[in-house]
Amino acid sequence: MPAHDFQAILQIAFELGLNTDIHARFLDFGCGKGSTIGKFHANGYKNVYGCDISIEKSDDNFVHDGIIRRIDTSNYKLPFENESFDCVFSQAVLEHVQDVEVAFSEIRRILRRGGLTFHHFTSSTTPIELHTFVPFGQYIQSKSWLLLWAQLGIRKKYQKGMNPAEVAYRNSVTLRDKVHYIPEKLLYACFKKHFGLAQFREDLLTKYHSNRKQRQIFKLSRSFPSVLIIYRKLHTKFIAGFKKS
**Per residue in 132-155, pLDDT tens?**
999 999 999 999 999 999 999 999
H or E stretch covering 69: strand 68-70
Asked whether residue 2 carries a pLDDT value surpassing 70, the answer given is no
Residue 50 lies in a domain: yes
Angstrom distances, CA of residue 111 to CA of 94, 118, 194, 213, 243 = 18, 12, 11, 33, 7
Q: What percent of the chain has pLDDT over 90?
A: 91
pLDDT of residue 204: 96
Instruction: Show the domain range for 104.
Output: 6-124+181-242
Residue 93 lies in a domain: yes
- How far apart are the C-alpha atoms of 87 and 243, rounded to whole Å? 10
Mean pLDDT of the residues in the chain: 94
- How far apart are the C-alpha atoms of 152 and 156, rounded to whole Å? 13
State the total domains in the chain. Answer: 2
The reply to whether 116 and 90 lie within a common domain is yes
Residue 1 lies in a domain: no
The reply to whether 120 and 82 lie within a common domain is yes
Q: What is the mean pLDDT of residues 58-84?
A: 95
The reply to whether 57 and 167 lie within a common domain is no
pLDDT of residue 244: 87
The reply to whether 111 and 198 lie within a common domain is yes
Asked whether residue 236 carries a pLDDT value surpassing 60, the answer given is yes
Asked whether residue 110 carries a pLDDT value surpassing 90, the answer given is yes
pLDDT band at 237 (very low <50, low <70, confident <90, very high): very high
Backbone angles phi and psi of 123, in degrees to 5 = -65, 145
Q: Which of 241, 239, 238, 188 is nearest to 217 (CA)?
A: 238
pLDDT band at 1 (very low <50, low <70, confident <90, very high): low
